[in-house]
Amino acid sequence: MTTSTDSNLPTVSSNAGAKPTISKPSGPAPTTLITKDIIEGTGNPAIATSTMTVHYTLMTWSKGEVVESSWDSGSPATFPLANVIKGWQQGIPGMKVGGRRLLVIPPDLGYGAQGAGGAIGPNETLVFVVDVIGIA
């Protein structure tokens, strides 16, 4: 896991409790997982076996467009961390309730060569902004 202040990374707003704004990434996509805390949360950190309740926004690196956001549906997502893509399994632990983290996930830790649905093409680098609402 890499923490980066790379100028190619998108900038993310720090407006706690509201849908984040995310700038379009530039340049070549990173080839390793990058995590960057935007807001530090409080309380006990998430671990590999946690069940998470989060709001998230997903942008594709190649297009710089948001393709999915739980903020838009108004309902946060709840899931066992063990059941999601490897980029989340590696990039979420350590987050705390109230925290917001930028995750830049290379294809091998995301959806790989098969992509996901129509919005995420093969070998796409994923840009997630994750806000933690609850950890169980």
Q: What CATH code is carried by the domain that includes residue 122?
A: 3.10.50.40
Q: Helices (DSSP H) in 1-124: which residue ranges?
A: 70-73, 86-91
Whether residue 13 lies inside any domain: the answer is no
Domain membership of residue 52 (yes or no) is yes
Q: What is the count of structural domains for the chain?
A: 1
Residue 43 included in any domain: yes
pTM of the entire structure? 0.93
pLDDT per residue as tens digits for the range 24-64 = 999 999 999 999 999 999 999 999 999 999 999 999 999 99
Dist. CA 66–CA 57, nearest whole Å: 7
**2 — pLDDT class (breaks 50, 70, 90):** very low
Amino acid at 35: T
11 inside domain: no
How far CA 127 is from CA of 16, 31, 62, 112, 114, in Å, comes to 19, 12, 10, 14, 17
Give a yes or no: residue 122 inside a domain: yes
Residue 131 lies in a domain: yes
Band the pLDDT of 3: cuts 50, 70, 90. very low
Q: Please give the residue range of the domain that contains residue 42.
A: 33-135
